[in-house]
Amino acid sequence: MTVWDAGDPALIAARLAEEFLARYDTPATCVGRAPGRVNLIGEHTDYNAGLVLPVALPHATYAAVRLREDGVVRIASSQIEDPWTGHRDDLASSEVPGWVGYAAGVLTTLGEAVPADLGIDVVLDSTVPMGAGLSSSAAIECAVGVASLAAAGRSVEADRDLLVAAAIRAETEVVGAPTGGMDQTISVFGRPGEALLIDFRSGERRGVPAEIEGHCWLVTDTRVSHALTDGGYGSRRADCERAAAALGVATLREADLAAVEALDDDLARRRARHVVTEIARVEVAATALREHDLATLGAQMAGSHASMRDDFEISCAELDTAVEAATAAGAVGARMTGGGFGGSSVALVPIDRRDTVIAAIDAAFAAAGYAAPRHLVATPSAGAAIVG
């Protein structure tokens, strides 16, 4: 039974500042922290102008930084063997290792907030599992971004929208992963105790209390790694665009379920049906969460998983196993979360059933011959901030 700890932010920040000094022989200006996230419901809806309901994890990425006058970029990460040294003008080049784009891409996308000739020294550490569908990528973008803003003398509070936009561009333009914006939004705007209902049509964000007495959000990392640059995610985006075109709407947010059901093309119909029904489920789930209507909430999570498995086809055997085992062992609701093709599941679990549910998932994985999963408890936590 592996339960992944979030660590103590003050201790991690202090250790990172020490490592920065030892590595670069000069103190860091500040340490930024930005969380990973788990989406409670609403998958592949952000780029369809729909609704999502993520919470910020207590697990986060920490970045100790100092800006440089000479445009040189030096980055080291506890999660990556070899540090990288180069120049800010190289960051978008295909020669640069992928992780460097995630880590330092914001330097070029923050615009005039960080003057165009500056470089940066960075040391990173993270308690967000990488490639597990819990958005270690947004965590790293936002941690370096928030620290860079502070190091440049900007007000982090006033610049939160700028930070989200820069982090999205680092991921979509510098790295080339066609993601939709949910991850960076929650990593910057997460609040303790709350999920964030984000409407990607209006841009509206609303906090929804997400701590339920006697329950916890249990996240299970299947250890099946996905890569958003691999093609599955991009092909689903393209399917959605084709379905919207066939329906004559600008985005699937505008689509009507009856019109979707009447589509001749089976693939377009199933892809669009997932998006349209998923957006409706987010709305019902957010209301259920506010009203502590756990039966309705659980049913929405189950419906969401079935829709992703059967209509959107982004689940996998390990995710289905985690969801089925959690549900059979007493979870209120469970579903895969994140972009899919591996990654994690999320379950709402009575605290007194937590260890039973974990043991049941572990046993189901062992019986199927899968690698042992790891688990974490997603206590809704704060967004990006300076911590040292």
Residues noted as catalytic? 183
Draw the binding track, 120-149, toward Mg ion (x: CB under 5 A; -: no contact): ---------------x-x------------
**Region 321-350 residues binding ligand ADP, contact defined as CB under 6 A:** 338
Asked whether position 228 contacts ligand ADP by CB under 6 A, the answer is yes
Q: What is the footprint of ligand ADP within residues 93-132 (CB under 6 A)?
A: 98-99, 102-103, 124, 126, 130-132
Measured from the CB atom, the residue of 40 and 358 that comes closer to Mg ion is: 40
Cα separation of 40 and 348, whole Å?
Answer: 9
- Residues 83-122, mask of contacts with Mg ion (x by CB under 5 A): ----------------------------------------
Q: Residue 87 has which token pair?
A: 């120049």
Cβ(37)–Cβ(141) below 8 Å:
no
* Nearer Cβ to Mg ion (342/388): 342
Among Mg ion, ligand ADP, none, what does residue 84 contact (CB within 5–8 Å per kind)?
none
Give the type of residue at 237.
R
Check: CB of residue 316 under 8 Å from CB of residue 224: yes
Q: Outline where 203-315 has alpha helix (H).
A: 232-247, 257-261, 266-290, 294-310
Considering the complex, what minimum distance in angstroms separates the CB of residue 103 from ligand ADP? 6
Does 222 contact Mg ion by CB under 5 A? no
Shorter beta-carbon distance to ligand ADP: residue 212 or 316 = 316
Amino acid identity for residue 352 in this structure: D
Q: Angle at Cα 324 formed by Cα 318 and Cα 329, nearest 5°?
A: 125
Contacts with ligand ADP: how many residues (CB under 6 A)? 23
3-state secondary structure of 233: helix
* Residue 263 site contact among Mg ion, ligand ADP, none (CB < 5 to 8 Å, cut-off depends on kind): none
List CB contacts of 81: < 8 A, sequence separation 6 or more: none
> Which of ligand ADP, Mg ion, none interacts with 133 (beta carbon under 5 to 8 A by kind)?
ligand ADP
x/- binding map, residues 65-94, to ligand ADP, per CB under 6 A?
------------x-xx--------------
Residue number, 135 or 344, with CB nearest to Mg ion: 135
CA count, 13 A, side-chain hemisphere, 148: 32
In the bound complex, which residue of the shown chain has the CB atom lying closest to Mg ion? Answer: 137
Q: Is 60 in the site for ligand ADP (CB under 6 A)?
A: no
Is residue 184 at the binding interface for Mg ion, with CB under 5 A as the rule? no
Residue 286, helix vs strand vs coil: helix
The answer to whether residues 195 and 54 touch, using CB atoms and an 8 Å cutoff, is yes
Helix (H) or strand (E) holding 218: strand 215-221
322: which residues sit within 8 A by CB, 6+ positions away? 220, 222, 334, 336, 345, 361, 364, 365, 373
Cβ atoms of 160 and 173 within 8 Å: the answer is no
Pick the closer one to ligand ADP by CB: 77 or 321.
77
80 binds, among ligand ADP, Mg ion, none (CB under 5 to 8 A by kind): ligand ADP
Residue keyed to tokens 């119909």? 269
- Residue 36 CA from chain centroid, whole number: 6
Residue span 135-164 as binding mask against ligand ADP, x where in contact by CB under 6 A, dash where not: xxx--x------------------------
* DSSP 3-state of 105: coil
Q: Whole-angstrom Cα distance, residue 268 to residue 287?
A: 29
Using CB under 6 A, which of 28, 30, 41, 134 touches ligand ADP? 134
Q: At closest approach, how far in Å is the CB of 133 from ligand ADP?
A: 5
Beta-sheet strands, E only, within 69-204: 72-77, 84-87, 119-126, 194-199
Q: Is 182 in the site for ligand ADP (CB under 6 A)?
A: no
- Of these, 133, 180, 190, 342, which contacts ligand ADP (CB under 6 A)? 133
Which whole-number Å values give the CA distances from 228 to 89, 119, 128, 163, 239, in the listed order? 24, 28, 17, 21, 16
Cα separation, 348 vs 220, in Å, equals 11
When the beta carbons of 235 and 352 are compared against ligand ADP, the nearer one is 235
Q: Which residues bind ligand ADP (CB under 6 A)?
A: 61, 77, 79-80, 98-99, 102-103, 124, 126, 130-137, 140, 177, 227-228, 338
Which residues sit at the interface with Mg ion, rule CB under 5 A?
Answer: 135, 137
